[in-house]
Amino acid sequence: MILYLSLAPRTWWWLAPVAFAVLGLALHGCRFRQGAGRGFLFGLAFFLPQLSWLQDFLGADFGPWPWLALSVTMALYFAIAGGLSAAVQRLPCGPIWMAAVVIAAETPRMWVPFGGFPWGRIAFTQPEGIFLPLASLGGAPLVGFAAVLCGFGLSRLVLRMREIGWRFRRAILGPALTVVLPIVAGVGAVLSVDDGVGVGSRTVAVLQGNAPDRGLALLGERDSLRENHFAEFRRLIERVREGRVQKPDLVVWPETAVRIPADGDRLGELVNELGVPVLVGALERLSDGRNQNVAVVWEPGEGPGQRYAKQRLVPFGEYMPAREIARLVTPFADSGEDISPGTGSPAVLRLAETVVGASICYEVAYDQTGRDAVRAGAELLTVPTNNAWYGRSEMTYQQLAMARLRAVEHGRAVLVAATSGVSAIIRPDGTVTRASGQFTAETLIDTIPLRRDLTMADRLGPWVEHVLIAAATGAIAATLILWVRARSPERPASGILRRRGKVDTNYYDR
């Protein structure tokens, strides 16, 4: 529960290290099975309240089963992390290996089950605070590692001081360093975060037309959603014509705000009237009858041009995996068509002489989408999203926290365009300069910097994550070796470690 409280919309980022300090104390002296059990309870207390927005989405007809099933599945990853952390904690520098194990356990969550569910990564608790600048150096894995290491280090420091007395001795230096070094690294990483103009600037407009607060019943209200966005676009055109707001260089619409080709003529007329290109989120009907969730560049006088089709689809939302099982828990398993995923090149589009990267809704949770766009030349990033499904829940704030992390990670301004809020304009340092309310119709306008340089995180790519996985794997392997040796009566656990008093052989013989 403590870790959940560190999530947005609250700004209590410091509770994440506190949560892992509590977990570290709970794991002290545990065997693998005990650690797995306590890790599972820790994960369940985190995911159950965090994912409560699934109830807003699905409504009472489904009951609590989808929410409970997903929460339990995600908690199983914490069970694995808890068990392995309990195993490696007796190694020298135990907090380091424990933190590596926790972050390494997040990696399979991005792929399994059903293409992964990266919601609730530790880094997403840190859109503010001292660890956020580390995103520019090592992305989400490094931010999460620093927060977890600080917490586990704090628990080790408390345990050590309880053993030797509450006064300074050399024995506390190691644990103290595992608390202090992540904090110092975060403070020092501020120097790597650049909020400068770079290669120029653009005046941008982020459109939010509003939508009915109906959860899954929004399926029957799509016409209302579209009309709201056309109405807000007309209001923007009128305000520009009357000189009440500055004419933007480009406009960003939310995810699936229109249908293509059905709404093409209407949209084209309004784009021509405004006279600037629009990046519009649309549900596109392809010639072969399939549907795709796309971001399309609509140029004045030219019509639709470049497009990007969403590649990371939401299971049970945009497509139905395990349909036979789904029929057991939902009457809607056969009521809709699956969205077809996009394939191919990174999400990079050109409009208003600007290279724009797009991460459609759910994709902002994945590291690769934004990284590939920036490496392909994106000068700013956009996140078109439709959060009206989830009511007035915390889901939209959790997603906004991800976008803020991505801004720092890639050194780019990020434009979040949501159908019903929260839309936002975010600078490269993660600062939100404009934000909408929930279930309002409004357009955000601001001037943002364009950037082309790559952060260290973009240069390193997934290597930070790979190093942490390798560290966790090495620690687990070392623990297994010690366990095997401890069970062998003719071989000591480890001569060097035994002489240093670091290994309890009885612990490994369990």
Q: What structural domains and CATH numbers belong to the chain?
A: 2-193+462-508 (no CATH), 200-453 (3.60.110.10)
pTM confidence score: 0.92
**Crossing angle of helices 65-88 and 32-50, rounded to 10°:** 140
311-326 average pLDDT score: 74
H/E element holding 284? strand 278-285
What pLDDT was estimated at residue 508? 41
**Is residue 93 annotated as a catalytic residue, yes or no?**
no
The answer to whether 145 touches 100, Cβ cutoff 8 Å, is: yes
Q: Round to whole Å and give the CA distance between 183 and 179.
A: 7
What pLDDT was estimated at residue 321? 73
The answer to whether 334 touches 375, Cβ cutoff 8 Å, is: no
**Is residue 361 annotated as a catalytic residue, yes or no?**
yes
Q: How many CB atoms lie within 10 A of CB 293?
A: 26
Residue whose pair of structure tokens reads 């420091």 in the numeric block: 157
Q: Round to whole Å and give the CA distance between 130 and 123.
A: 12
Q: How does the average pLDDT of the chain come out, rounded?
A: 91
Nearest to 278 by CA among 302, 261, 259: 302
List the catalytic residue out of 150, 361, 363, 409: 361
What pLDDT was estimated at residue 198? 83
How is residue 51 written in tokens?
């994912």
Q: What percent of the chain has pLDDT over 90?
A: 74
Q: What percent of the chain has pLDDT over 70?
A: 90
Number of H helices and number of E strands within the chain? Answer: 17, 13
The answer to whether 58 touches 42, Cβ cutoff 8 Å, is: no
> How large is the greatest C-alpha to C-alpha distance in the chain, in angstroms?
89
* Confidence band of 416 (pLDDT split at 50, 70, 90): very high
What pLDDT was estimated at residue 215? 64
Range of 74-88, 188-202, 212-226 with top mean pLDDT: 74-88
Instruction: Indicate whether 139 pLDDT > 80.
Output: yes
* Confidence band of 386 (pLDDT split at 50, 70, 90): very high
How is residue 79 written in tokens?
């069970």
Nearest to 332 by CA among 420, 223, 215: 215
Instruction: Indicate whether 339 pLDDT > 60.
Output: yes
How is residue 42 written in tokens?
């820790």
Q: 445: which strand partners?
A: 205
Helix, strand, or coil here: 200? strand
Instruction: Indicate whether 127 pLDDT > 60.
Output: yes
Residue 273 burial by Cβ neighbours in a 10 Å radius (0-12, 13-18, 19+): middle
Q: Round to whole Å and give the CA distance between 418 and 143.
A: 26
CA angle 202, 418, 9 (to 5 degrees): 105
DSSP class of residue 455?
Answer: P
Distance of CA 153 to the CA centre of its chain: 25
pLDDT per residue as tens digits for the range 52-68: 998 877 766 677 888 99
**Is residue 255 annotated as a catalytic residue, yes or no?**
yes
List all residues 6 or more positions away from 214 whose beta carbon is below 8 Å from its beta carbon. 220, 221, 388
Q: Going by DSSP bridges, is the β-strand pair 354-358/348-351 parallel, antiparallel, or unpaired?
A: antiparallel
Distance of CA 344 to the CA centre of its chain: 22
The answer to whether 398 touches 50, Cβ cutoff 8 Å, is: yes
Nearest to 224 by CA among 390, 54, 279, 232: 232
List the catalytic residue out of 310, 363, 394, 442: 310
Selected residue with higher pLDDT from 217 and 48: 48
How is residue 234 written in tokens?
């007309």
**Crossing angle of helices 65-88 and 15-27, rounded to 10°:** 60
Q: Round to whole Å and give the CA distance between 69 and 81.
A: 19
* Confidence band of 218 (pLDDT split at 50, 70, 90): low
List the catalytic residue out of 106, 232, 255, 318: 255
* Confidence band of 334 (pLDDT split at 50, 70, 90): low
117-136 average pLDDT score: 96
